[in-house]
Amino acid sequence: MAESSSSQAALARRGLMFILSSPSGAGKTTISRMLLEADDEIKLSVSVTTRPPRPGEIDGVHYYFVDDAEFDRMVEEDDFYEWAHVFGHRYGTPKGRIRAALKDGQDFLFDIDWQGTQQLYQKDQQDVVRVFILPPSIAELRRRLEARAQDEKDVIDARMERARAEISHWDAYDYVVINEDVNLCFGKVREILDAERMKRQRQTGLIPFVRELMS
């Protein structure tokens, strides 16, 4: 069952924007799902995409699936924090109530690519934590994409081709974790999240707390 990871839950704190990126197939969806299940203080920012759903994907849960016209309308109405072209489709982070919720201490998880990461970081450096997940090897990356069996061979080839380009953005992240054993990788990601929550600047409740201690 979900357990609170913070022993200082009673103190008010600002929420954070926790970004997980990786080359396709390295495991960010798996790690994201484990995190959401284990931690009830973080909520997924559900992206909008023009890509068709994969088997098992639910509209509004994994993505909001829209057509090109709807995506265009959202761009025109300035509904996105950021959006980007990935694998011939468009993906975007809807603004929703993120800013207000951050103030109330809500954490958000973003499964977005390096382009989206860059845009979010430019807009909100103080709240963003950037984590990049790497596969243990290129051969293992291909094996995972093939084992996932959700894409045609040409799509897998295209994803493999892009993987190297995506990996080249590793140095634009705060943390890099290699996903060899999924449980170990998940543990590391969780430690990062816990540590980031303890950052002094995020713990808005510390000022009155310390004032009280010193009075």
Ligand X SMILES: Nc1ncnc2c1ncn2[C@@H]1O[C@H](COP(=O)(O)OP(=O)(O)O)[C@@H](O)[C@H]1O
Ligand Y SMILES: Nc1nc2c(ncn2[C@@H]2O[C@H](COP(=O)(O)OP(=O)(O)O)[C@@H](O)[C@H]2O)c(=O)[nH]1
Give the binding site for ligand Y (CB under 6 A).
Answer: 21, 24, 29, 47, 51, 82, 84, 86-87, 91-93, 111-113, 115-116
164 DSSP β-pair partners: none
Query: Smallest distance from the beta carbon of 154 to ligand X, in angstroms?
Result: 17
Query: Smallest distance from the beta carbon of 138 to ligand Y, in angstroms?
Result: 15
The residue (of 148 and 190) whose beta carbon lies closer to ligand Y is: 148
Helices (H) and strands (E) in the chain, counts: 8, 9
Query: Smallest distance from the beta carbon of 151 to ligand Y, in angstroms?
Result: 8
The answer to whether residues 183 and 140 touch, using CB atoms and an 8 Å cutoff, is no
Is residue 148 near ligand X by the rule CB under 6 A?
yes
In this structure, is the dihedral angle defined by the CA atoms of residues 135, 166, 55 and 83, taken in order, positive or negative? positive
Run of H or E residues at 46: none
Q: Copy the structure tokens of residue 77.
A: 């109405």
Angstrom distance (rounded) from CA 150 to CA 76: 32
Contact of residue 121 among ligand X, ligand Y, none (CB under 5-8 Å per partner type)? none
Query: Smallest distance from the beta carbon of 113 to ligand Y, in angstroms?
Result: 4
The position carrying tokens 């103080």 is 126
Q: For 114-165, give the DSSP string.
A: HHHHHHHHHH-TTTEEEEEEE-S-HHHHHHHHHHHT-S-HHHHHHHHHHHHH
Is residue 117 near ligand X by the rule CB under 6 A?
no
The residue (of 94 and 205) whose beta carbon lies closer to ligand Y is: 94
Region binding ligand X by CB under 6 A among candidate stretches 41-49, 78-86, 142-150, 207-215: 142-150
Which residues here bind ligand X, judged by CB under 6 A? Answer: 22, 24-30, 144, 147-148, 179, 181-182
